[in-house]
Chains A and B, each alone.
Chain A
């Protein structure tokens, strides 16, 4: 797979211990190639949030293996010292709600992860502007988030997730609040970005409107995943 792409093998997560232990993940296998957009579908309580949190290096799995590109980031325990840097540089997040920083303008919101990574302000803003152009919201570059529509905010959030060119993007219900036209627009953007930046994108969703667009889908139930071919409809 090279430097990008994500591979997970036998991931387990147990909460608590002894009699009250809960096994949220019982052995998850997943892999996503760079440029691929896969769906992760499952009912609530199936462990999909837990899986996302493990993938996002926000919580520590109990067992298994996670590889990001060439690097094994987790093998029974974290193999990377600075998880925060991992999140900042290698993983992009797109949430259900845009979660933009209300006191920064759109450009700075997008540029922030790059600035945090050490890029100069000018360079970071330049990169941010390029992404905004790509997502067709550059006309809102100096506005503050409260002045944007929901769809615009979501696009800005996607741009933010992409600014550090992470190999992996984790999208958690990105289309939930949107209508079908906008939802499909988001999916289209994700596909374009994945292709353009060679990013592996995992989209957690139960939105019926967009599920048909995935070429590959992972179903998760009771802490175990199994792969399925999707419809792969064009957007």
Chain B
């Protein structure tokens, strides 16, 4: 017995492959959408992994430093460093802002890292080019997603920074790329505004009669000076000694220092559970819709293909073809279409993913699941066509 499905496909292979490609693009978009979802979750987690921290110490009763703003004094780290179980503690600041380079603006999260050196919590754990920051001011390490190159001069607030190193996949939970600069510069950037705003502030302070007392000449200058300092950071990153339990050390810090401390899993819950929850739901819904649309389109295509063969099916029945054989023919065609579609879809998804503005993470398990889903959809879609085919009366072939 020959394969009727095979012969039919071979006969009209152009149309078949073309349809498969069209279907493949739809499947590709669905796979990319799943990848966007995974990418969002990965974005939320990548900063946690790359910071190298076991604990995050933030302002009391805030969800900071990523989900909510948090301010700590910059000498709090010393007390934390002394807590039993703490191996390393480092200040860190984060601020999402526009970074200027040449004629363009890039939205980035500027991270201020403390002066210690590579291996300190908060420092980029690996580079793709260049070197780590060595000078205490005016140097930066940027993520390649910013589009910056080594040697570029960036302007952050009023200072210029030279890019000395590049990283990959260092992004905030929103997907904004990171730019690492020395902590002191970041504190200034986070606090000091541009020159116009500074002048305004000085003018306001000078007009305040409490500060401009004639009998006390140095008072105004001292007040303005104190307003120009920023003794705050957003969080202290802590690495614990090997062998100690994170929650235990966290509890010690919470009790003795009266600060809020989060472990890695708690931070993940905050970011994934709170920060990206809405967007994730949106993507999830969109994914469902795409899947349903794909299923409908496959069903429609198979049904139309079958309807176009009604007469042949009647003849086949008349000359004695089993219902089973006819059903198998339709099913095989449906599955073949699905397989071509999936192959095309996976290829388009893989080559198209890097061009997407958001990070697309294509996991192989998702592809396997997608493949199984496509097969199931093909089988279910063919059922409708098979029902139509089986209803065909062989007597149709004999004219009336």
Which A residues are closer than 8 A to B by beta carbons? Answer: 49, 52-53, 56, 58-59, 84-85, 87-89, 93, 95-96, 99, 101-104, 108, 112-113, 115-117, 121, 144, 160, 172-173
- Tell me, rounded to whole Å, the shortest Cβ–Cβ distance linking A156 to chain B: 13
- Tell me, rounded to whole Å, the shortest Cβ–Cβ distance linking B168 to chain A: 52
- Chain A CB within 8 A of B398 CB: yes
Select one of A56, A88, A104, A108 contacting B398, CB under 8 A.
A56
- Tell me, rounded to whole Å, the shortest Cβ–Cβ distance linking A161 to chain B: 9
Is the beta-carbon distance between B320 and A95 smaller than 8 angstroms? Answer: no
- Chain A CB within 8 A of B244 CB: no
Select one of B10, B320, B393, B397 contacting A85, CB under 8 A.
B320
- Chain A CB within 8 A of B102 CB: no
Is the beta-carbon distance between A58 and B318 smaller than 8 angstroms? Answer: yes
Is the beta-carbon distance between B398 and A102 smaller than 8 angstroms? Answer: no
Residue of B nearest to A90 (CB): B320
Is the beta-carbon distance between A52 and B398 smaller than 8 angstroms? Answer: yes
- Tell me, rounded to whole Å, the shortest Cβ–Cβ distance linking A122 to chain B: 12
* Complex interface: chain B residues within 8 A of A53 (CB): 395, 398
Complex alpha-carbon distance, A196 and B111, angstroms: 95
Residue of A nearest to B311 (CB): A99
Select one of B10, B319, B321, B399 contacting A160, CB under 8 A.
B319
- Chain A CB within 8 A of B210 CB: no
Is the beta-carbon distance between B2 and A84 smaller than 8 angstroms? Answer: no
Residue tally, chain B, CB below 8 Å to A: 25
- Chain A CB within 8 A of B204 CB: no
Given that A59-B395, A108-B2 are contacting pairs, would A103 and B318 also be in contact in the complex, using a CB cutoff of 8 Å? no
Is the beta-carbon distance between B11 and A49 smaller than 8 angstroms? Answer: no
Which B residues are closer than 8 A to A by beta carbons? Answer: 1-2, 7-8, 10-12, 311-312, 315-322, 325, 393-395, 397-400
Complex alpha-carbon distance, A217 and B390, angstroms: 37
* Complex interface: chain B residues within 8 A of A102 (CB): 11, 312
Complex alpha-carbon distance, A103 and B1, angstroms: 15
Residue of B nearest to A100 (CB): B315
Is the beta-carbon distance between A87 and B320 smaller than 8 angstroms? Answer: yes
- Tell me, rounded to whole Å, the shortest Cβ–Cβ distance linking A67 to chain B: 20
- Tell me, rounded to whole Å, the shortest Cβ–Cβ distance linking A199 to chain B: 16
- Tell me, rounded to whole Å, the shortest Cβ–Cβ distance linking B299 to chain A: 22
Is the beta-carbon distance between B394 and A58 smaller than 8 angstroms? Answer: yes
Residue of B nearest to A176 (CB): B399
Is the beta-carbon distance between B320 and A49 smaller than 8 angstroms? Answer: no
8 contacts across the A-B interface (CB closer than 8 A): A87-B394, A99-B311, A101-B312, A102-B312, A112-B319, A113-B320, A115-B2, A160-B319
Interface core residue of A53, A84, A85, A88 (most chain B CB under 10 Å) = A84
Is the beta-carbon distance between B315 and A49 smaller than 8 angstroms? Answer: no
Residue of B nearest to A164 (CB): B320
Select one of A59, A95, A121 contacting B399, CB under 8 A.
A95
Q: A113-B319, A116-B322 are in contact. List 11 more A-B contacts (CB 8 A).
A: A49-B398, A56-B318, A58-B398, A59-B395, A89-B320, A93-B319, A93-B398, A103-B10, A108-B2, A116-B1, A172-B398
- Tell me, rounded to whole Å, the shortest Cβ–Cβ distance linking B24 to chain A: 23
* Complex interface: chain B residues within 8 A of A101 (CB): 312, 315-316
Is the beta-carbon distance between B2 and A88 smaller than 8 angstroms? Answer: no
- Tell me, rounded to whole Å, the shortest Cβ–Cβ distance linking B186 to chain A: 70
Is the beta-carbon distance between A49 and B319 smaller than 8 angstroms? Answer: no
- Tell me, rounded to whole Å, the shortest Cβ–Cβ distance linking B390 to chain A: 12
- Tell me, rounded to whole Å, the shortest Cβ–Cβ distance linking B319 to chain A: 5
